Structure 1
Amino acid sequence: MKTALIFAGQGAQYVGMGKELYDNFQCAKEVFERADEALKMNLSSLCFEGPSDELNKTENTQPAILTTSVAALRVLESQGINFDVTAGLSLGEYSAHICAGTFSFEDGVKLVKNRGRFMQEAVPQGVGGMSAVLGLDRGLLDEAVKEAAQFGIVEVANYNCPDQIVIAGEVEAVKIAGEKAQEKGAKRVITLTVSGPFHTSMLKGAAEKLKEELNNIEIKQFTTPIITNVTGDYIKSLEEVKPFLVKQVMSSVKWEDSVRTMLNDGIDTFIELGPGRVLSGFSKKIDRNVKVFNIEDLKSLNKTLDSLK
């Protein structure tokens, strides 16, 4: 068995996430306490009790998901489970770096709070949007995006899995690209409720601010291979870490490519850490033969441990 640990991105949050792990495992409780201290706010209470409108603010969502994910990671590590590679979708890539020891949890949680704020502030509310396109071949969607680009900025934000690709950019251009995608045979186009056109060139300002923040962070040699969203391939050296994290904010998330890279290297088991099961679903759509597990509460933890042992 070859195992990958994968980490959830923004959108997976819900009020109550991480509470059972906090209540039952000292190592998980410590992660939440360290987050509260590092951020000088009661992030734990926001995760466990809400309110949801506060939790859903990007600058709160990102540290909340990262903290819940790392708490799940520490619980898994306490059970002696080994793994071979790590990756995360968008925000989840920061959890993967903490998993691999590239930077400290405290640095990571402060970094993603700022990242969330920069992303939120980069484009005025209502100017940009995102849509998920279901059931259209990647090549045909790329064509639709190219045709719609004359009406404004529109780019592919996420290559999630064969059946789901996300486009983003200026509202009107995204709408036209969605219509063209449907003309080319897309099953559905769903407008996403997000605060901005993430993972497009419109986030350049956020990327520049993030670069300044990263200059203050100490990067250490990662102990586990990490795959980056930017290329869908392994990070080869320490020098690539910061440039990839900067570029990641404003370029396509190549999640399907990332999973295929792992599959090609013999990974047959994926454990998703943190809230929700979105990545487990994507993994199954990319290859239905893989084994997928997740850890977000006691039930999912026990199920995963029983299956692995």
Structure 2
Amino acid sequence: MRCECTQPAWRETALQLQCSKISAHSSEWLAEKLEMLSFIFPGQGSQRVGMGRDLVDAYPECRSTFEEADEVLGESLSRLCFDGPEDRLTLTENAQPAILTVSIAMYRGLVERGLTPTCVAGHSLGEYSAHVAAGTIAFADALGIVKRRGRYMQEAVPIGDGAMAAILGLDASSVKQACDEASNGEIVAPANLNAPRQIVIAGAREAVRRAGEVARRMGAKRVISLTVSAPFHCALMQPVADRLAPELRGLSATDPRIPVIANVDAEPKRDARASVDALIQQIASPVLWEKVVRRLASDGSRTYVEVGPGSVLTGLMKKIDRALRAVAVDTLPTLNDAKELIG
């Protein structure tokens, strides 16, 4: 079944949203250039000290986003984003709400300037940002959920017991074979299928190390150990999924206004229940990012805006399909020049 973002109902709704706050001339420009515009939201690892400060200083909708986050969380997330320290910002329970807040501040800035997506997707944590943008989950609800998601992830596996590594130069089936050969009764598996021959594995520390050695023997160009607080998106995270599931199911979620392509199966989620189920499942399942991008492309998206700190997803786009156009909007100048960057 094809993504409904290519169907008239979705297209009409999206274009109405796109054109609601802009002039007739801009409406024509958007209809021509952005009819199939996808916003993609980054995940953990994209955080940096200072992120979002220039947006807050310049735009009230961005400032109010940070103010809301501070109020909901009962702490100054804005100060942590702007001033650090870096070691506190990189803690999973802090990094996740911080990235969500910066992403939604940037999203609101783009919408205020007349740029609204027809489809959205997010990498891991970024799927929560995508659902806020699609109207599935309220920003305030998402803040509390991702704060606890991060804390539960930190608590699930003792520090030092888990690991993740990027394997470059092998296809997905070869990486899976390396993991299977190296497991020796322990958990190790592909966790992020980011791009062709760029796959991250996760699991028990020694099993990840052994899988890296097998991958090298199989011809991997590089095996890079990643500095992470937990082995994300593998079976070791199942207790987190079980713990977070009732909280997610207890949210006042609504059907998304536009399609959200899920990490777990690269399929569009069209209703609240399917959306929440996908968020639960993705905690202990691999992120099929390459498939997500190819699904968006097969349904007609040719232009992609990375909304949030950094440009990791923009770089991955070039590895997935050079014919696709991607730009990162993560600073005040890029937000101001968004139309020119995209057009």
TM range (shorter): over 0.9
TM-score normalised by structure 1 residue count:
0.98
2:109 matched to 1:78? no
Q: Retained in 1: the 8 A contact 2:172–2:197?
A: no
How many angstroms apart in 2 are the aligned matches of 1:56 and 1:157?
A: 20
Equivalent residue runs for 1:14-53 within 5 Å = 14-53=48-87
Q: Retained in 1: the 8 A contact 2:303–2:342?
A: no
Q: Retained in 2: the 8 A contact 1:226–1:235?
A: yes
Identity among equivalent positions (%) equals: 47
2:165 matched to 1:169? no
Q: Retained in 2: the 8 A contact 1:230–1:248?
A: yes
Partner of 1:106: 140
How many angstroms apart in 2 are the aligned matches of 1:262 and 1:170?
A: 33
How many angstroms apart in 2 are the aligned matches of 1:281 and 1:163?
A: 14
Partner of 2:103: 69
Q: Retained in 2: the 8 A contact 1:135–1:188?
A: yes
How many angstroms apart in 2 are the aligned matches of 1:205 and 1:138?
A: 26
Q: Retained in 2: the 8 A contact 1:294–1:301?
A: no
Quote how far apart the aligned CAs of 1:299 are.
Answer: 2.1
Quote how far apart the aligned CAs of 1:235 are.
Answer: 1.4
TM-score normalised by structure 2 residue count:
0.88
How many angstroms apart in 2 are the aligned matches of 1:35 and 1:237?
A: 26
Q: Retained in 2: the 8 A contact 1:151–1:172?
A: no
2:293 matched to 1:259? yes
Partner of 1:117: 151
Q: Secondary structure at the match of 1:150?
A: coil
Q: Retained in 1: the 8 A contact 2:329–2:338?
A: yes
Quote how far apart the aligned CAs of 1:16 are.
Answer: 0.2
Unaligned runs of 5+ in 2: 1-32
Q: Which has the larger radius of gyration?
A: 2
Partner of 1:6: 40
Q: Retained in 1: the 8 A contact 2:192–2:201?
A: yes
Unaligned runs of 5+ in 1: none
Q: Retained in 1: the 8 A contact 2:256–2:270?
A: no
Query: Matched residue pairs, number?
Result: 309
Equivalent residue runs for 1:180-259 within 5 Å = 180-259=214-293
Partner of 1:273: 307
Quote how far apart the aligned CAs of 1:308 are.
Answer: 3.4
Quote how far apart the aligned CAs of 1:151 are.
Answer: 4.9
Q: Secondary structure at the match of 1:185?
A: coil
How many angstroms apart in 1 are the aligned matches of 2:277 and 2:46?
A: 26
How many angstroms apart in 2 are the aligned matches of 1:83 and 1:279?
A: 17
How many angstroms apart in 2 are the aligned matches of 1:54 and 1:305?
A: 35
Q: Which whole-Å deviations, capped at 9, do the CAs of 1:256-292 have from their partners, x for residues lacking one? A: 0000001111111110011000000111110111111
Q: Retained in 2: the 8 A contact 1:163–1:285?
A: no
Quote how far apart the aligned CAs of 1:238 are.
Answer: 2.4
| AA aligned opposite 1:299 | P
| AA aligned opposite 2:58 | N
Partner of 1:304: 338
| AA aligned opposite 1:204 | Q
Quote how far apart the aligned CAs of 1:305 are.
Answer: 2.3
Q: Retained in 2: the 8 A contact 1:294–1:304?
A: no
| AA aligned opposite 2:139 | F
CA RMSD of aligned residues (A): 1.1
Q: Retained in 1: the 8 A contact 2:134–2:259?
A: yes
How many angstroms apart in 2 are the aligned matches of 1:201 and 1:135?
A: 24
Q: Secondary structure at the match of 1:232?
A: coil
Q: Secondary structure at the match of 2:102?
A: helix
| AA aligned opposite 2:169 | G
Q: Retained in 2: the 8 A contact 1:233–1:257?
A: no
- From 132, 148, 165, the counterpart of 2:166: 132
| AA aligned opposite 1:199 | H
Q: Secondary structure at the match of 2:264?
A: coil
Q: Which whole-Å deviations, capped at 9, do the CAs of 1:156-191 have from their partners, x for residues lacking one? A: 110001131000000111011111111111100000
Q: Secondary structure at the match of 1:230?
A: coil
